[in-house]
Amino acid sequence: MSAGAWRANREPAILLGPGVLFLLLAFFFPAFQLLAQSFLTFGTEPVQFTFEHYAKAFVDEFYAGVALRTFRIAFTITAICLIVGFPLAVIIARAGPILRASLIVIIILPLMTSVVIRTFGWLVILGPGGVISWTLEQLGLIDNSISLMHTEAGIIIAMAQVLLPFLVLTTLGSLSQIPPSLEEASRVMGAGFFQSMFHITLPLSVPGLASGSLLVFALSISSFITPSLVGGVRLQVMAGSIYQQMTGSFDWGFGSALSVILLIVTLLLIVPYMILVSRAGGRQ
């Protein structure tokens, strides 16, 4: 590198330094270790190279089922957050300062509550003899008390609640950059409220919606505390079964293989999505 190039790049390099160092230590190093572990045998001397962990993960129907459930749940949560979050973000963006602040606080509140307390709150609402079950029973719609605890629906409801702020806040960022005059212009030109919303507001907030939904998807695919507390032991998700392999069965090789698969599949889904979205965004 010439002296001139160094001088030009010096400041960015210094600014990037702490972040890169942290990523190296806290992400790339452990991720690389996991990758190595996933190809090694355990308990044999000497340690050997093997594909057995991957073979088990792919051949075994049980783990395919767990993976399928994980992605199904993550897609559903993302879709719900998009459907609920976009209109909400529009309202917040257009609201007066007081209403706006209080709406934001209400949406962020679940994030600030400990996961244990939040889950116990859901237990009171979703559980057998809980509010939902009691109401349906009083209305005469059901005979026996029902429970949404230990169901996929329960996991989705509880996760969508806590992940919603990620989508709303990022979308809010995009929305606040849209000049109100654009919408006003479209309305003046004779577009109805929903037409203007669909042709002007929605396309212009795509960048926010995209990064928000990516966040929601990535977080729901990797979370295991809420799924294990609300979903119970019978509904395993990938992160939960990795946790169990690592801490319960001490099968680090297989646990690592599952982690690597989760990472790769997530990247395979996310990268094309990002490319697609940036093209769509570019056309506007």
Partner 1 sequence: MKQRRNWLATFGAVSLFAFAQHASAQETLTINSFGGAYEKIHRELVITPFEKMHNVKVEVVTAYSADTLAQLRAQKDNPQFDVVHFSGGLEHAAAAEGLLAPIEPAELENHSQMYDFAVAGLDKGIGPTYSTAVIGLLYNTDQISEAPTSWSDIADPAYQNHVLLTDAASNTYGMLGFLMINKVAGGTMDDIQPGLDFVQKILSTSTIVSKSPEIQQNFAQGSAWIAPYAQDYAFTLTKSGLPVKFVQPEEGGVLAPITVNLVAGTDKRDLALKFIDFSIRAEASSGWAEALRYTPTNREAKLSEEVAAQVVYGEGDVAKLNTFDANAIAKKRPGWNEAWSRAIAQ
Among 235, 237, 242, 260, binds partner 1 (CB under 8 A): 235
Q: Assess 232 for contact with partner 1 (CB under 8 A).
A: yes
Among 147, 191, 203, 246, binds partner 1 (CB under 8 A): 147
- Least distance (Å) between residue 214 CB and partner 1: 29
Based on CB atoms, which residue is closest to partner 1, 165 or 255? 255
What are residue 2's phi and psi, to 5 degrees?
Answer: -70, 160
DSSP-assigned states of every residue in 45-85: SS--B--HHHHHHHH-HHHHHHHHHHHHHHHHHHHHHHHHH
Q: Assess 145 for contact with partner 1 (CB under 8 A).
A: yes
Q: Assess 65 for contact with partner 1 (CB under 8 A).
A: yes
Q: Assess 127 for contact with partner 1 (CB under 8 A).
A: yes
Among 184, 250, 268, 280, binds partner 1 (CB under 8 A): 250
Q: Assess 56 for contact with partner 1 (CB under 8 A).
A: no
Count of residues touching partner 1 (by CB under 8 A): 24
Q: Assess 113 for contact with partner 1 (CB under 8 A).
A: no
Whether 82 contacts 213, CB under 8 Å: yes
Q: Both tokens of residue 147?
A: 């429970």
What are residue 49's phi and psi, to 5 degrees?
Answer: -80, 135
| Single-letter amino acid code for the residue at 174 | S
DSSP-assigned states of every residue in 75-112: HHHHHHHHHHHHHHHHHHHHS-HHHHHHHHHHHHHHHH
Binding site for partner 1 (CB under 8 A): 62, 65-66, 123, 127-130, 144-145, 147, 150, 228, 232-236, 241, 244, 248-251
